[in-house]
């Protein structure tokens, strides 16, 4: 089944404890991206990747890192999480950056205490 | 900077009614516009993708139109059903490859 998977689905952590949220797609997509969704602010793009080893900042990249060493995986890294990073995170992928449907993962709900 | 606005923020209709959701964007230099559906606690499901050169797309009871010059799109849902209840999001993609989302319209279809 074609899908985007994220792990973990739920995570409660404490300020400053490094964490990684994994994202994997099995559709051989070139383009992958990360979003956060907050009440009243909607979905905002954190980082995106056009291809392996190519990443770029979205609208809210501060406090996040990403890497794209393999086409199928695009992990989101929070080196020193803070409470303002408490949010619902989505990973998405598409065949190419433009003109193609975006497929979203199920989301990761992160709480930073 | 691209901004996407969706009106209304919430809409409640009786079952069977035809309805229109609106989306406007400030920068007409877009590659495409997509409509998504989001159910509570779930991810987004793509409904329709309209390329910048297209005027509309249809899928079943859904029809989306795009007027790039005026910066507007509408999503028309025919013969609404309770199962259509969800939040509907529109998103535009421009030259920077970034996808910019509206805040969504929460639709409730009452039996």
Q: A3-7, A97-101, A102-106 — which is least confidently predicted? A: A97-101
Cβ contact A47:A36 at 8 Å: no
Give pLDDT, residue A98: 66
CA atoms of B2 and B82, how far apart (whole Å): 33
Contact B49 A99 (CB under 8 A): yes
Give pLDDT, residue A71: 95
| Selection from A14, A20, A7, A38 nearest residue A108 by Cα | A7
The tokens for B65 are 């139109």
Number of H helices, E strands in chain A: 0, 11
The pLDDT tens digits of the residues spanning A10-22 come to 999 999 999 999 9
Q: Indicate if the pLDDT at residue B54 is higher than 80.
A: yes
The pLDDT tens digits of the residues spanning B68-109 come to 999 999 999 999 999 999 999 999 988 766 788 999 999 999
Distance from CA of A98 to the nearest CA of B (A): 7
Taking CA atoms, what residue in A is nearest to B30?
A98
If phi > 0 it is left, if psi is from -120 to 50 it is alpha, else beta; for residue A63 that is: left
Contact A98 B103 (CB under 8 A): no
């Amino acid at each position: 089944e074609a899908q985007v998977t994220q792990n973990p689905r739920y995570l409660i952590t404490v300020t400053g404890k490094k964490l990684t949220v994994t994202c994997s797609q099995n559709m051989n997509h070139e383009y992958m991206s990360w979003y956060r969704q907050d009440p009243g602010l909607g979905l905002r793009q954190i980082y995106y990747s056009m291809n392996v080893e190519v990443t770029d900042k979205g609208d809210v990249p501060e406090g996040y890192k990403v890497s794209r060493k393999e086409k199928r995986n695009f992990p989101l890294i929070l080196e020193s999480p803070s409470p303002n990073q408490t949010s619902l995170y989505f990973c998405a992928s598409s065949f190419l950056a433009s003109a193609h449907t975006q497929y979203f993962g199920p989301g990761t709900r992160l709480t930073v205490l | 900077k691209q901004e996407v606005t969706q009106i209304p923020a919430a809409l409640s209709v009786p079952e069977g009614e035809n309805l229109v959701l609106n989306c406007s964007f400030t920068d007409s230099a877009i590659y495409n516009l997509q409509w998504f559906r989001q159910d509570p606690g779930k991810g987004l499901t793509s409904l329709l993708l309209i390329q910048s050169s297209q005027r509309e797309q249809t899928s079943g009871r859904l029809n989306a139109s795009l007027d790039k010059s005026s910066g507007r799109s509408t999503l028309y849902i025919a013969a609404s059903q309770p199962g259509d209840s969800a939040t509907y999001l529109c998103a535009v993609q421009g030259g920077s490859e970034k996808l910019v989302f509206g805040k969504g319209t929460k639709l409730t279809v009452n039996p």
